[in-house]
Amino acid sequence: MATSLTLIATPCTDPRSSSSFALAPRLPPRRSRDDILIDPRNAAAARRRVPVRGAVRATTLRSDQEPAGDSGATTTKLSAWTSVRQERWEGDLSVDGHLPPWLNGTYIRNGPGMWDVGEHAFHHLFDGYATLVRVSFRGGGGARATGAHRQIESEAYRAAVARGRPVLREFSHCPAPAKSLLDRVGDLVGLVTGAALTDNPNSAVLPLGDGRVMCLTETTKSSVLIDPDTLETVGRFRYTDRLGGMVQSAHPIVTDTEFLTLLPDLVRPGHLVVRMEAGSNERKVIGRVDCRGGPSPGWLHSFAVTEKYVVVPEMPLRYSSASLLTSELAPFYAFDWVPASGSYMHVMCKSTGKTVASVEVPPFMAIHFINAYEEEGDEAAVVVDCCEHYGDPAIIETLVLSRLRSLRGKDVLPNARVGRFRIPLDGSPFGELETALDPEEHGRGMDMCSINPARLGRKYRYAYACGARRPCNFPNTLTKIDLVEKKAKSWHEEGSVPSEPFFVARPGATDEDDGVVISIVSSDDGEGYALVLDATTFEEIARVRFPYGLPYGFHGCWIPATEE
Ligand SMILES: CC1=C(/C=C/C(C)=C/C=C/C(C)=C/C=C/C=C(C)/C=C/C=O)C(C)(C)CCC1
Ligand SMILES: [Fe+2]
């Protein structure tokens, strides 16, 4: 069987777009039922799976190792867990519904859209090579938008395509050890220096305050710059400081003026809290937080800030130094679950770098933090909200691709809630963790959150996240959480998988929920579209359709159009 992923340029003369073309990987012949030809020139045909003359030959890359699954898995055309069929595409998109006239700018979403390379099929959702999806809205409420998708050309992706297998370590994949002694020495050097780790930036996409756009994941080397119009990979973001560090938070907090992030110290367990000014490539240390538990820092995918403070979480899912040094998987891939090591929250003052609170909290498991704010008065405290998985790391195993593909319709999504920490600032040793609203409001599913960025670090009322309509094996609703009324409103469509609901404010708005929420949906019948919801009513206002189904993705961003 042909297994190479050699890239071949294939002209694609889309009559709707002069600049449209595709680079189609040369793919192995299909092994399963829905061998299809997708031609972006004919959206309807693509949706009906009708072969089109002269179309770009493209194949759904799907794992042979996929379990047989239940009826849901075998009958669906859902593209959420299926590798993107072409390396890139761009063209016009049709709009069903009425876009608000003020919606003028570009939404970009990042995520792991390619899980197969050569004969190799990745095991876990987090492994896939980064795929960007763009939807550009032209303002004026027109019935057209333009769209694109494109692979990020990381070293990990390029090497995998060239060799027909992954070469660098991904989340759940460690390359086989070398056979010769000399090559084994090379492997060891790669492990110690971090050269063996992935730079596949498949988590977040962030417009920096200076106009550059960064994509990244957990390894420091994964920070890359992309062109938001062409989605082209501009190149690696080179930090000019000497802070080094192999890993970083995948969710730096970026404003017009700065970029704040955390660098875990795996040798002397702790975190450096660092700031980089807009326009600079140099991170400067604000301060250091020592971990209270061990043997290594808690996994820190994201964190939270208030106006004055940076909140550093320390949960019992900890980086596995052994796994990193031996290139062998730990019980949770790169992490160990060490409940006896305790759970803590640390609060650092942004201006002095001093840790003003370090409290023990009930056990927690949170990948995504929602927001945080200060409460003043006699009982001064920092309140921190997160998508909390009841102190259970089971969500990591839920996101194994074979389970996502085969367990659709089964009620196997672990429960989650909006966890609200209260961290006292009076020197008390303990903090509290409570449930912010009845989790039944959002079907006991809760992850992939956004807020109105104007409320970052301030008291706020609304969060948008993916919730659950059970039975389900993955969050399948878009949910608006009202943290004051303790109520939720949801959008749901049977069999569809929506990604993170991303809030975009109406220019000039003063109400916190005055704007729209954008999410990319992979539907049960194989379609892919950007869904636009009115953020106030949470009613659907438009669908912006791609001519093919899209893979699931993680996080989005909004880049307003500049005045011409
Ligand atoms: C941290 C190390 C590594 C890399 C880790 C990576 C790539 C982690 C990626 C985490 C992601 C993408 C998390 C996404 C979460 C999404 C959720 C919870 C979705 C929920 C749905 O509703 C290695 C490179 C493996 C080794 C060094 C350490
Ligand atoms: Fe994330």
With bands split at pLDDT 50, 70 and 90, how would you rate the model's confidence at 75?
Answer: low
| Type of residue found at 239 | Y
Structural domain contains residue 63 = no
231: pLDDT strictly greater than 80: yes
Residue 35, domain member (yes or no): no
User: Which residues line ligand 1 at a C-beta cut-off of 6 Å?
Assistant: 126, 169, 171, 197-198, 203, 217-219, 247, 301, 324, 334, 367, 447-448, 466, 475, 554
CA 218 – ligand 2 centroid, Å: 10
Which tens digit of pLDDT belongs to each residue from 394-444?
999 999 999 999 999 999 999 999 999 999 999 999 999 999 999 999 999
Give residue 57 CA to ligand 2 midpoint distance, Å. Answer: 33
Ligand whose nearest atom lies closest to the CA of 201:
1
List the residue whose alpha carbon is closest to atom 28 of ligand 1: 334
Annotated binding site for Fe cation: 251, 301, 368, 555
Nearest CA to ligand 1 atom 11: 126
Strand partners, 92: 146
| Model ipTM value | 0.97
pLDDT for residue 18 is more than 60:
no
Q: Give residue-wise pLDDT tens across range 108-162.
A: 999 999 999 999 999 999 999 999 999 999 999 888 899 999 999 999 999 999 9
* Nearest ligand by distance to the CA of 202: 1
Q: Is residue 7 part of a domain?
A: no
405: in domain: yes
User: 94: domain range?
Assistant: 79-560
| 440: DSSP letter | G
Distance between CA 533 and CA 98 in Å, rounded? 11
Res 52 pLDDT > 60:
no
Q: Which of 205, 169, 173 is nearest to 190 (CA)?
A: 169
Long-range interactions of 243-246: CB distance < 8 A, separation 24+: 243/272, 243/274, 243/283, 243/285, 244/220, 245/220, 245/272, 246/194, 246/197, 246/219, 246/220, 246/324
Domain annotation covers residue 223 = yes
Q: Ligand 1, closest atom to CA 395?
A: 18
**Ligand 1 atom 23, closest CA:** 171
- Provide DSSP, 42-94: -HHHHHHT---TTPEE------TT-----HHHHH----TTS--SSSEEEEEEE
Question: Token pair 């494109």 is at which residue?
Answer: 150
Is the residue at 125 inside a domain?
yes
- Mean pLDDT (whole number) for 473-482: 98
Residues at the binding site are 251, 301, 368, 555
Whole-model pTM: value is: 0.89
Tell me the three-class secondary structure of 505-522, residue by residue.
Answer: ECCCCCCCCCEEEEEEEE
**Residue 338 exposure: Cα atoms within 13 Å on the Cβ side:** 19
User: How remote is the CA of residue 350 from the centroid of ligand 2, in Å?
Assistant: 23
At 389 the pLDDT is 98
**Average pLDDT of span 61-79:** 48
Mean pLDDT of 237-266: 97
Note the pLDDT tens digit of each residue in 503-558: 999 999 999 999 999 999 999 999 999 999 999 999 999 999 999 999 999 999 99
Q: What is the pLDDT of residue 423?
A: 98
Q: Which atom of ligand 1 is nearest to the CA of 368?
A: 18
The number of domains in the chain is 1
Q: Is 298 within the bounds of a domain? A: yes
53 Cα–ligand 1 center, Å: 41
Length of the chain: 564
Task: Give a yes or no: residue 416 inside a domain.
Answer: yes
